[in-house]
């Protein structure tokens, strides 16, 4: 049974994308973008930095899971310390999208993703319900920066805690087994949560190609796009499944997300070692500044390609269709959807 659980865990981590609202996460049958991005960033991090050797949990189950994960990520040479950190990082990067639930547990996931609190949306680099018009982009970017800064503070605090307080458990869903508390190294786990927000900013925002995708030009909207009063002009471009892919055309964004994840990890280490928070401020300035006055009418300041991708598979109401497509909404008025009754035989 333990061997079977190990296999299922790795499948749950690195196989097939969930239809949630971020760079896809893994399920029992899909390939996860977040996991791939995080593993690649961790690999590059280890090329220049070797974590201190630490005691790891005695229970053998985590080691089997971590070793299989390292093999799937093509890093079989990892030490126990490194493998435990990678496992914790991947559990953390999945957590904001699932909170330990199965991706097929729609009622639970809907409550997570439809959180109307601003911080709940900023954790996924999206607009809050009050982030309207062009000033909404400013508020969303600033809110996302705060979420990342708060998450890094938790990384640093846990890394400076006594060794006995650096370990914990986090919920993870396993196909056929339900929710299991997985042992984690807390600094890596909290970093995974921070990395999730960073990575989502490449799937949930349009970025300026001329800046190497460093500057944001427009932040997408999920929480209002699923309602029937959504107005693109007011609320911003709808979240889109077209942006949530690791497909080849998204390679520039995936590579930029790997780079941004790696740089945040390096900044967190600097802050832990020196208490120099200027490293984080410089990071946020480099990756989370807004190119002002970009909108649909000026083709997002000359970035029509990403706007075209965002138009694919726009998020809409769960049960009702919208009478207008997002690019038809320019009167600034509230738009009410046309109810489509669903009947079953």
In this prediction, residue 13 carries a pLDDT of 43
In this prediction, residue 320 carries a pLDDT of 53
User: pLDDT means per 10 residues in the chain (345 residues)?
Assistant: 36 39 41 81 84 66 73 76 87 71 34 68 93 94 97 95 87 62 89 95 92 93 86 88 80 93 96 93 96 82 80 74 43 34 28
Q: Domain residue spans in the chain?
A: 2-318
Residue 222: how many other CB atoms lie within 10 Å: 21
- pTM over 0.95? The answer is no
In this prediction, residue 36 carries a pLDDT of 86
Residue 59: how many other CB atoms lie within 10 Å: 8
Structure tokens at 86: 């990678």
Query: β-strand 26-27 against 15-17: which pairing, if any?
Result: antiparallel
Distances (CA, A) of 58 to 43, 62, 84, 85, 229: 25, 9, 12, 15, 53
Residues 6 or more apart whose CB falls under 8 angstroms from that of 324 comprise 335
């Amino acid at each position: 049974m333990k061997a079977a659980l190990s296999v299922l865990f790795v499948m749950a981590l690195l196989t097939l994308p969930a239809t949630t609202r971020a760079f896809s996460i893994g399920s029992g049958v899909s390939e996860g973008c977040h996991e791939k991005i995080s593993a690649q960033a961790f690999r590059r991090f280890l090329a220049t930095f070797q974590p201190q050797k630490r005691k790891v949990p005695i229970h053998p189950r985590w080691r089997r899971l971590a070793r299989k994960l390292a093999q799937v990520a093509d890093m079989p040479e990892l030490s126990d310390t490194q493998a435990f950190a990678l496992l914790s990082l991947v559990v953390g990067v999945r957590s904001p999208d699932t909170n330990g639930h199965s991706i097929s547990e729609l009622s639970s996931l809907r409550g997570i993703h439809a959180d109307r609190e601003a911080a709940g949306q900023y954790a996924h680099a999206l607009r809050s319900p009050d982030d309207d018009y062009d000033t909404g982009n400013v508020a969303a970017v600033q809110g996302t920066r705060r979420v990342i800064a708060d998450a890094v503070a938790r990384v640093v605090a846990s890394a400076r805690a006594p060794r006995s307080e650096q370990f914990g458990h986090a919920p993870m869903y396993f196909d056929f087994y339900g929710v299991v508390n997985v042992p984690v190294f807390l600094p890596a786990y909290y970093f995974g949560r921070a990395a999730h927000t960073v990575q989502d900013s490449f799937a949930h925002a349009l970025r300026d190609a001329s800046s190497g995708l460093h500057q944001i030009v427009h932040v997408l909207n999920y929480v209002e796009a699923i309602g029937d009063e959504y107005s693109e002009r007011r609320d911003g471009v709808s979240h889109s499944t077209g942006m949530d892919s690791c497909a080849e055309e998204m390679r520039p964004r995936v590579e930029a997300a790997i780079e941004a994840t790696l740089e945040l990890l390096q900044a967190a280490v600097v802050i832990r070692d020196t208490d120099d928070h200027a490293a984080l401020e410089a990071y946020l300035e480099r990756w989370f500044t807004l190119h002002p006055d970009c909108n649909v009418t000026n083709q997002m300041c000359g970035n029509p390609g990403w706007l075209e991708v965002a138009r694919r598979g726009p998020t809409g109401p769960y049960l009702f269709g919208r009478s207008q497509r997002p690019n038809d909404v320019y009167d600034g008025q509230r738009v009410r959807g046309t109810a489509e009754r669903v009947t079953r035989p």
